[in-house]
Amino acid sequence: MTRRILLVAHPRRVEAQQFAGDVADRLHAAGLQVAVLPDAAEATILGGGSNIVTVDPADPVRGCELVCVLGGDGAILRGAALSRGTDAPLLGVNLGHVGFLAEAERERLGETVQRIVARDYVVEERMTLDVTATHDGEVIARSWALNEVTVEKAARERMIYVTLEIDGRPLSTWGCDGVVMATPTGSTAYAFSSGGPVMWPDVEAMLVVPISAHALFARPLVIGPKSALAIELVADADGTAVMWCDGSRSVELAPGARVDVCASQTPVRLARLTSWPFADRLVAKFDLSVDGWRGVARRNHGGLGRSEQA
């Protein structure tokens, strides 16, 4: 049976398509079939031949053993929407800036392709969130998120008033710019920039971070994975809101709307190429200073280079 890789890159970014063409040619030379989405079929700069196929957008991952995404975290999150719920893991190649979700860097593209061909990677499952938005008892949206679900004010000049509910009980009401509900994977994204803590990926928990809240009790909260979270927009308050899932899927919310969030039973499967500790990834991605460290690993192994940390 022919091995197939789904290759995803931004169809309107020339650099991404050039890299996609390079990867496709390398995979084709190794005897693998490369699949692309219809909107990228004409844009991808390909030198290959019959091993390039266009997938059905309704079921793009069918028959694919891996989804390879070239881009920044936004592109990788879009790739996660394709791979989630399938057996195909997701492997991100960073063409952006931080690229926290990426497993490989553009400088090691050839080595990354070799690892794909050899199936030389391990698969790690990451928690996702299930989301339901309702208004007056009617469901207005169902979605999910790998990084975070946010409820944010729709108008710059007007804050929103929300009540946080945990396990069916109200905890506090805030006037704020919004609320972030994140997974451990998303703790280094919007939640982090809003003042939340970093959670290691193997922590089973959800994170709640108020954004610019006008309240004394408005600190980040770490909630158990079996708990149920809800945000209610105060019905008699002014100000509409927007619910965002991973910063790309949005739904408008009127006063009185409710957003329920819980840990999902459907994870995202990430292909990992390295076994470096998460602390090394933080150091590399955030360019943290570790000068002066004299730990055991440094004495035994001579320290880690930047390329190794990534």
Nearest alpha-carbon partner for 178 in 164, 188, 199, 168: 164
Provide the 8-state DSSP code for 186: G
Provide the pairing of β-strand 249-253 with 241-245. Answer: antiparallel
Catalytic-residue membership of 73: yes
Q: What separation in angstroms does the CA of 150 have from each of 115, 121, 122, 170, 301?
A: 36, 32, 31, 18, 42
Strand partners, 271: 123
The helix (H) or strand (E) run that includes residue 52 is strand 52-54
**Residue 171 CB-density burial (10 A; 0-12 exposed, 13-18 middle, 19+ buried):** middle
* Ramachandran class of 145: left when φ > 0, alpha when ψ lies in -120 to 50, beta otherwise: beta
Query: Which residue blocks in 10-149 are alpha helix, DSSP H?
Result: 14-29, 38-41, 73-83, 109-117
SS in 3 state form for 232-278?
A: EECCCCCCCEEEEECCCEEEEECCCCEEEEEECCCCEEEEECCCCCH
Nearest alpha-carbon partner for 190 in 144, 147, 253: 147
Q: Considering 22, 25, 59, 73, which one is annotated as catalytic?
A: 73
CA distance 263 to 158: 31
Residues marked as catalytic: 73
